[in-house]
Amino acid sequence: MQPTLTFGVFLVYFGLLSCTSATSALKILTVYTHPGKSHSDVFDPILRELTSRGHQITTLSHFNHSTPEYHFETLLFDTPINHLDINFDNSADFFGPVVIFKFAYASCVNDLKSKVVHKVLHEKSRHFDLVIVEAFVGDCFVPMGHHFGAPVIHVSSSPLITWFSPRFGQVINPSHVNNFLNAPLFGMNFLEKVKNTLQTGGMIYAYYYFIGMAHHYTSARSVYKNLPSYDDTIQNVSLALVNTHGSLHGAVANVPQIIEIGGVHIAPQTDLPKNIEKWINESKDGVIYFSMGSMIKGHTFPEEKRKIFLKAFGRLKQRVLWKWENETMPDKPDNVMIQKWMPQYDILCHPNVKAFIAHGGLLGTTEAVHCGVPVVVMPQFGDQHTNARALEAGGGGVVLNFREADEEMVYNALKTVLDPEFNKKAKELSARFRDRPMSPMDTAIYWIEYVARHKGAHHMRTAAVGMPLYQYLLLDVFGFLAVCTLSILFIGIYVTKLFFRLVMSMFSKSDKKQKKLKKN
């Protein structure tokens, strides 16, 4: 063969090989309805990575995710965003049912009415290979998959919220699986199990009937043509990428469609701003980083608590970096530096940062675990309580009740986590968290492309999907076995009785005969 021909055959061969083993460029529709920044902080890196691997993204969202470097077709919902200002007074009941219904209404009923939804559904040229829908409170965009004949993937910026579990046949046995709010992680006592069972069941049924089903047969029906039933729609979701990792949130029995990508938002470190780096560099006893996240603002920080923290800081050798949104802070001691905005992850991973005071939001918690910095956690609402307890159980921090905290408690909590032994435990947790067969981002991309390659990958469903609860709990089988056992028991008793009666009657007959004989 001539060399050029050989080369040509070679090229064709490898061309075919790469076609079959890799996924060619996909057209992906992503729908992120919740207007919270901590949610898009998880999704944006995934979108950017998909783009850099050659896939084409169209995104329906409240934010413009596009950057000059990473271009997405962004279709903004024209519904107004209900900005949520959370402070220390209202945060306790923040994740109550009323708020969940409000979120659900906004992200389903309102967003579905947007002009951009109509545009996506009815422009003739539109075609998608894959649909990615945020899993939070609502299923109004899941039928997009059926509309385009494309598989649907869920992405959750938190652990999978309890009400999404049944569609995957996920194990939700409340004897040992906590619902995502409030329940303790390990060793529930009897009353806690009762509470966990009621909460889990309540959440699942309330969501199914009053949010999922209700919106499906009202809002979704008026938007999509030939809408399948609600069950068929949600049970068709291929898999869920969830922002957890067993090393942090505790081991759970996940079905194959639940893929853990905890830490996916963590990007390579970048340089710190010079003033912050200098301050950290120059503190010979290390630095404590203090931030209550992006939703709870400094000006809502109770004055009396602020004084308590400052007094506790005054008793420590360490310097403190405090994320504080106001220009100044009254009676700020010299070892405290305030900044409105701080590159949190880069700060946490600086070797001189020895402790983190936080609210237990998942992203900050994950970053601290990744960097191996021990945390004093003061959870406020929602999943923060669960994250905090998980962190404490894993040796990565201690939980401090913010409302009850006094100077002594703050000081002691900080002393505890600043101890070198505690630091060692946090480093061990970090090592467990990072030790995986693939990085969280590679895992996410692998499974997204996997679903496209295998046309929905529905072989990953277990037989539990769509099974009625009484069958799932084996109530029919136990019922049947109970009936069998009882029947055998009754028949046994009946036969025995009959037998004895027969024997007795035979005896009494022969008795009578004998009596008769005697009389005669």
Ligand X SMILES: *[C@@H]1O[C@H](CO)[C@@H](O)[C@H](O)[C@H]1NC(C)=O
Question: Nearest distance from residue 396's CB to ligand X, in Å?
Answer: 25
Q: Which of 443, 258, 262 is nearest to 362 (CA)?
A: 262
466 touches ligand X by CB under 6 A: no
Which helix H or strand E contains 143, and what residues bound it?
helix 143-148
Of the two residues 44 and 139, which places its CB atom closer to ligand X in the complex?
139
49 touches ligand X by CB under 6 A: no
- Can you list the pairs that 271-277 forms with residues at least 24 positions away whose Cβ atoms lie under 8 Å? 271/346, 272/343, 272/346, 272/347, 272/350, 273/343, 276/321, 276/337, 276/339, 276/342, 276/343, 276/347, 277/350
For the chain, what percentages of helix, strand and coil (3-state, to nearest 5) are there?
A: 50, 10, 40
Question: Nearest distance from residue 455's CB to ligand X, in Å?
Answer: 6
Dig out the tokens for 224 from the structure: 């999509």
Of the two residues 234 and 441, which places its CB atom closer to ligand X in the complex?
234
Per the CB < 8 A criterion, the answer to whether 326 and 298 are in contact is: yes
Of 125-133, 226-234, 364-372, 378-386: span binding ligand X (CB under 6 A): 226-234
Question: Nearest distance from residue 236's CB to ligand X, in Å?
Answer: 4
Write phi, then psi, for 255 (nearest 5 degrees): -70, 165
Of 251-259, 270-278, 356-364, 459-467: span binding ligand X (CB under 6 A): 270-278
Question: Nearest distance from residue 235's CB to ligand X, in Å?
Answer: 8
- Distance between first and last Cα of the chain: 125
Question: Nearest distance from residue 275's CB to ligand X, in Å?
Answer: 8
Of 64-72, 129-137, 231-239, 294-302: span binding ligand X (CB under 6 A): 231-239
Instruction: Say how far apart CA 217 and CA 83 lie, in whole Å.
Output: 28
Question: Nearest distance from residue 151's CB to ligand X, in Å?
Answer: 4
Site for ligand X in 144-163 (CB under 6 A): 145-146, 149, 151
Q: Which of 261, 94, 255, 105 is nearest to 181 (CA)?
A: 94
Which single residue is written with the structure tokens 């959370």?
A: 86
Q: Which of helix, strand or coil describes residue 304?
A: helix
Instruction: Say how far apart CA 72 and CA 48 lie, in whole Å.
Output: 9
Of the two residues 65 and 167, which places its CB atom closer to ligand X in the complex?
167
Site string for ligand X, 386-425 (x = CB under 6 A): ----------------------------------------
Q: Which of 55, 89, 48 is nearest to 69 (CA)?
A: 48
Of the two residues 236 and 344, which places its CB atom closer to ligand X in the complex?
236
Of the two residues 233 and 430, which places its CB atom closer to ligand X in the complex?
233
Question: Nearest distance from residue 414's CB to ligand X, in Å?
Answer: 24
Among 157, 233, 365, 386, binds ligand X (CB under 6 A): 233
Of the two residues 110 and 236, which places its CB atom closer to ligand X in the complex?
236
Of the two residues 275 and 505, which places its CB atom closer to ligand X in the complex?
275
Of 129-137, 225-233, 362-370, 481-489: span binding ligand X (CB under 6 A): 225-233
Of the two residues 246 and 351, which places its CB atom closer to ligand X in the complex?
351
Which single residue is written with the structure tokens 């598989």?
A: 151
Q: Which of helix, strand or coil describes residue 240?
A: strand
284 touches ligand X by CB under 6 A: no
232 touches ligand X by CB under 6 A: yes
- Can you list the pairs that 325-333 forms with residues at least 24 positions away whose Cβ atoms lie under 8 Å? 325/297, 325/298, 325/299, 326/298, 326/299
Q: Which position's Cβ is nearest ligand X?
A: 456
* 312-340 burial code (b ≥16 CB/10 A, e <16): bbeebebbbbbbbeeeeeeebeebbbbbe
325 touches ligand X by CB under 6 A: no
Among 71, 115, 119, 278, binds ligand X (CB under 6 A): 278
Count of beta carbons in the 10 Å neighbourhood of residue 285: 13
Which single residue is written with the structure tokens 């050659």?
A: 54
Of the two residues 239 and 376, which places its CB atom closer to ligand X in the complex?
239
Of 7-15, 41-49, 123-131, 232-240: span binding ligand X (CB under 6 A): 232-240
Of 19-27, 227-235, 288-296, 369-377: span binding ligand X (CB under 6 A): 227-235
Cα 473-246-47 angle, rounded to 5 deg: 105
Question: Nearest distance from residue 23's CB to ligand X, in Å?
Answer: 15
Q: Which of helix, strand or coil describes residue 52?
A: helix
257 touches ligand X by CB under 6 A: no
509 touches ligand X by CB under 6 A: no
277 touches ligand X by CB under 6 A: yes
228 touches ligand X by CB under 6 A: yes
Of the two residues 111 and 129, which places its CB atom closer to ligand X in the complex?
129
Residues of this chain that interact with ligand X (CB under 6 A) are 145-146, 149, 151, 228, 232-233, 236, 274, 277-278, 281, 455-456
